[in-house]
Amino acid sequence: MTGTALDGFDIPACSQLLGWRLLDARPHDGFVRIGFDGKIDFCNPAGFIQGGILSAMLDDVMGPAVFIKTEGRLYTATISLTVNYLQPVKVGPIVGEGKVVQLGKSVAFIEGRLMDQAGTTLATATSTARLVESAKAIQPK
């Protein structure tokens, strides 16, 4: 895998909770593939992963796609996020992909999807995000 702006980046606690791990990255294409843990703790009363958790996973693939495409110069602040839940998601590994569709001067358009290990698409999303200089958006520890 190619080195990216995510190398050495401190993964936020909320992403760690989701089991976030970088599987593949193609900075030139604005593409990332990220693994998540679909934990039993994330289930709704019906026994499936709760939709808000899936939305967080989708958000957590789309922002990094922009971040790596801009070599870490730009961070995203979500303006809108539209999620389509295609089928109930069971406990187990989940793979997310994020792709920059269009990168403007102040706004990005991004797509994401979540899949199970067999490659079946579970949910899709589109996002519009405001672009912010990373140095202004990311707070030092």
Helices (H), the chain: 13-17, 51-69, 134-137
How far is Cα 96 from Cα 58, in angstroms, rounded to an integer? 7
Q: What would the mean pLDDT of 96-112 be, rounded to a whole number?
A: 98
Count the Cβ atoms, other than its own, within 10 Å of residue 95.
Answer: 19
pLDDT of residue 92: 97
Tell me what the pLDDT averaged over the chain comes to. Answer: 94
Pick 45 or 4 by higher pLDDT. Answer: 45
Domain ranges of the chain: 13-135
Q: Does pLDDT of 132 surpass 80?
A: yes
Q: Which CATH architecture has domain 13-135?
A: Roll (3.10)
State CA 136 to chain mean position distance: 21
Q: Does pLDDT of 55 surpass 80?
A: yes
Confidence of residue 6 (pLDDT cuts 50, 70, 90): confident
pTM to 2 decimals? 0.94
pLDDT of residue 141: 60
pLDDT of residue 9: 83
